[in-house]
Amino acid sequence: MGLLGGGALPAWILPGATRPAQAWALVPGPEGAVLLGGDSLVEAPPDAAPVPPPPFPPPRLRLARRDEPAEAAEAIPLPSRGGFRLALAGGAADVPFAALDRLLPMPPLHPMPDAPPAVRGMAWTAAGAVLVADPALLGATGQEEAPLLAVLLAGGRRIGLPCRAAAPVAEAPASLPGPLLSPALLGMAPLALPPAAETPVPRRLLLLARAAGASFALAIEEVVAILPPATPRNQGRGPVAGIAMHRGDVLPVLDAGRRLGREPVLAARAAVPMIRLPGAEPAALAVSAVLGLRQVPEADLAPVAGAGLVASVARLEGAVIPVLRARALLAPLLAPLLAPQHAPLGGAQEP
């Protein structure tokens, strides 16, 4: 038996394959999807033989049939081809493949008011709410706690059965045991509603970095490239902390620590990573570390009015991170270009 997405599927190993199998494939079949194991997954050659069907035994047929009343014939439960045997505490129960929805670790149980003795409580699982029945309902006599919960589909409802293990069997009844289909039990069981369609959440991709102990982020649209750690040349103490080379361009280097009002990142004159910023006057921003990309829901971004250094504030991993504007970071370089031209001394006008 294999577990896929919380659901239990029969698993078969192809003849001649090593055990345990090294590769598995999900294959649809007449009795539902099965897992087939083998040595590896390769491209099928033109003369490849078809996958042999799982070894389900043929249904047992009687050689002779005597005349019987129609009511008696309908009362005989017809076996289905394949199912699961649930190992209960002091017993076992066989269920058809389609009845076992999921096999999960035992969740916490919550008591239900006016519950019959056959109900242990209600559990909330990945499949939703599940009414958990007592295995004693099926004749189990053990008292030890079961580590697993088999989530069964019964009459459009979900009923859980504590168990110790589940194994595939070649033949199983066509329906669940009668006690699990009692009106009293089904009347309390929650409906097996289809999962609600997930609405995609709008997200923004941010580059997270750190400078002199302060974390900040940049919108990925405002990042041209990440430069590997290097020491800028011609380091100075002015707004431009040095120069760096990238793809044949000479880039002025700005110190992110200074731009954030903290200690300079380049104070130790060690190699540091740099972020290339876009613009008419591109530059490199020296940082202490580049922490990587983060996807942040737009609902966790609070815009900041104005055109200052902080464009928005992001809630990220339990912290509040400022998202900076690249243009504001480049302000020391843009200021000389935006300064007004002064008239010549003496009031003379240029021709």
pLDDT reported for residue 193? 82
How do residues 58-96 score in pLDDT, each as one tens digit? 544 444 455 555 554 455 555 456 899 999 988 999 999
Confidence of residue 211 (pLDDT cuts 50, 70, 90): very high
Structure token pair of residue 313: 């504030």
For tokens 């069981």, name the residue. Answer: 189
- Is 80 exceeded by the pLDDT of residue 293? yes
Could you give the C-alpha distances from 111 to 1, 41, 159, in angstroms and in order? 32, 48, 15
- The one-letter code for the residue type at 311 is A
End-to-end CA distance of the chain: 91
Say how far apart CA 163 and CA 107 lie, in whole Å: 12
Task: Compute the 3-state secondary structure of the chain and give helix, strand, coil in percent, each to the nearest 5.
Answer: 15, 40, 45
pLDDT reported for residue 336? 56
* 3 state SS of 175: coil
pLDDT reported for residue 345? 43
Eight-state DSSP code of residue 156: T
Q: Are 39 and 18 in contact (CB under 8 A)?
A: yes
Closest CA to 12 of 40, 33, 41, 43: 33
Say how far apart CA 60 and CA 318 lie, in whole Å: 62
- Is 70 exceeded by the pLDDT of residue 351? no
Averaged pLDDT score across all residues of the chain: 83
Q: Are 278 and 326 in contact (CB under 8 A)?
A: yes
How many residues can be counted in the chain?
A: 351
Q: Are 155 and 100 in contact (CB under 8 A)?
A: no
Q: Are 215 and 255 in contact (CB under 8 A)?
A: no
Confidence of residue 40 (pLDDT cuts 50, 70, 90): confident
pLDDT reported for residue 148? 95
Output the CA torsion sign for 210, 215, 218, 220: positive
The CATH homologous superfamily to which domain 203-335 belongs is CheA-289, Domain 4 (2.40.50.180)
Which of 14-28, 75-89, 203-217, 275-289 has the highest average model confidence (pLDDT)? Answer: 203-217
Residue intervals of the chain classified under CATH 2.40.50.180 are: 77-188, 203-335
Which of 198-202, 216-220, 251-255 has the highest average model confidence (pLDDT)? Answer: 216-220
Count other C-beta atoms under 10 Å from residue 188's C-beta: 18
Instruction: Examine residue 108 and say whether the peptide bond preceding it is cis (omega within 30 degrees of 0).
Output: no
pLDDT reported for residue 103? 93
Q: What percent of the chain has pLDDT over 90?
A: 41
pLDDT reported for residue 209? 96
Confidence of residue 150 (pLDDT cuts 50, 70, 90): very high
Q: Which CATH architecture has domain 77-188?
A: Beta Barrel (2.40)
